[in-house]
């Protein structure tokens, strides 16, 4: 088990962190300017939603590693296979071991996963309502 978790930590997690950093950079460089263009706002919402899945998976892998390192293989297997989840167990492991320096990382991970998704859904819903409003405004009012 140590070899697999070591590989996850040394290989997979490093690639996911790099991909997450690229995602955040794309938010600033691509999606933020696209939001200024009214016709492209829906794409901004889609981009935020899809990128939040990558960041959520990165958070899950981070929690997988933290659970194994703090609570051990038995709790990791319980978390993965029983539906209890490695994310809550990672929080428990951090609290049990007193690793207070990891708490800001978890808070940041929660925020960077759920806030872009919520913002993306809000943008898409807003643009959907705007499209319906524009359609109704251009609809003929009466037939003579």
Query: Is the residue at 9 inside a domain?
Result: yes
Q: Which two tokens stand for residue 122?
A: 């809000």
Structural domain harbouring 104: 2-137
Q: What's the total number of domains in the chain?
A: 1
Query: Is the residue at 69 inside a domain?
Result: yes
Alpha-carbon distance of 79 to 71, in angstroms, equals 11
Q: How far is CA 101 from CA 8, 85, 97, 105, 143, in A?
A: 21, 22, 11, 8, 69
CB 101 within 8 A of CB 123: no
Query: Is the residue at 143 inside a domain?
Result: no
Query: Is the residue at 96 inside a domain?
Result: yes
pTM to 2 decimals?
Answer: 0.77
Q: How would you write the pLDDT of the chain (144 residues) with one tens digit per residue?
A: 677 777 777 778 889 888 989 998 998 898 888 888 878 888 888 999 999 999 999 988 888 888 988 998 899 889 889 888 898 899 999 999 988 888 888 888 888 889 999 999 998 888 888 777 777 777 766 655
Q: What is the DSSP secondary structure assignment for residue 84, as one 8-state letter?
A: S
Report the 10 Å Cβ neighbour count for 25: 10
Query: Is the residue at 98 inside a domain?
Result: yes
């Amino acid at each position: 088990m140590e070899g697999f978790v070591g590989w996850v930590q040394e290989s997979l997690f490093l690639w996911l962190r790099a991909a997450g950093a690229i995602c955040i950079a794309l938010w600033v460089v691509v999606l933020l300017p696209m939001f200024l263009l009214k016709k492209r706002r829906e794409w901004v919402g889609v981009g935020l939603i899809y990128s939040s899945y990558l960041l959520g998976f990165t958070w899950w892998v981070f929690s997988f590693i933290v659970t194994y390192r703090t609570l051990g293989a038995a709790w990791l297997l319980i978390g993965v296979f029983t539906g209890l989840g490695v994310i809550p167990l990672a929080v428990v492991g951090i609290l049990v071991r007193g690793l207070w320096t990891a708490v800001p990382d978890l808070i940041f991970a929660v925020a960077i996963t759920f806030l872009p998704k919520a913002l993306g859904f809000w943008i898409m819903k807003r643009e959907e309502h705007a499209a319906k409003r524009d359609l109704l405004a251009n609809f003929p009012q009466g037939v003579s």
